[in-house]
Amino acid sequence: MHSEEKRVEKLRYMHRNPVVRGLVARPEDWPWSSFRHYASGIEGTVEIESEWTAAARGHQPPKPYRFKEKSG
């Protein structure tokens, strides 16, 4: 990604897509979403590299994703 802002933009898009499509009510309800992991560190169906998994492996973790709605 070109910047942290773009990285978060892409994550928001991916996590909101099942909601926008009417498949689930909330991002965390989509079984194949990494949202729960980014929001809480809980490992789910999708294996990703995050601050929690990187720390467990002794690697430098990526910056945590903070899911919050845009205002306005």
Q: How many residues does the chain have?
A: 72
Task: Write out pLDDT tens, residues 7-32.
Answer: 888 888 999 999 999 999 999 899 98
**CB environment 1-37: b (16+ within 10 A), e (fewer):** eeeeeeebeebbeebbebbeeeeeeebbebeebbbbb
Domain ranges in the chain are: 4-57
d(CA 72, CA 64): 24
| pLDDT of 43 above 70 | yes
**Mean pLDDT, residues 33-52 taken together:** 76
Q: What predicted TM-score, i.e. pTM, was given to this entire model?
A: 0.61
How much is the pLDDT for 52?
62
Question: What is the separation of C-alpha 15 from the centre of its chain, rounded to a whole number of angstroms?
Answer: 6
Task: Write out pLDDT tens, residues 51-69.
Answer: 666 666 676 655 555 555 5
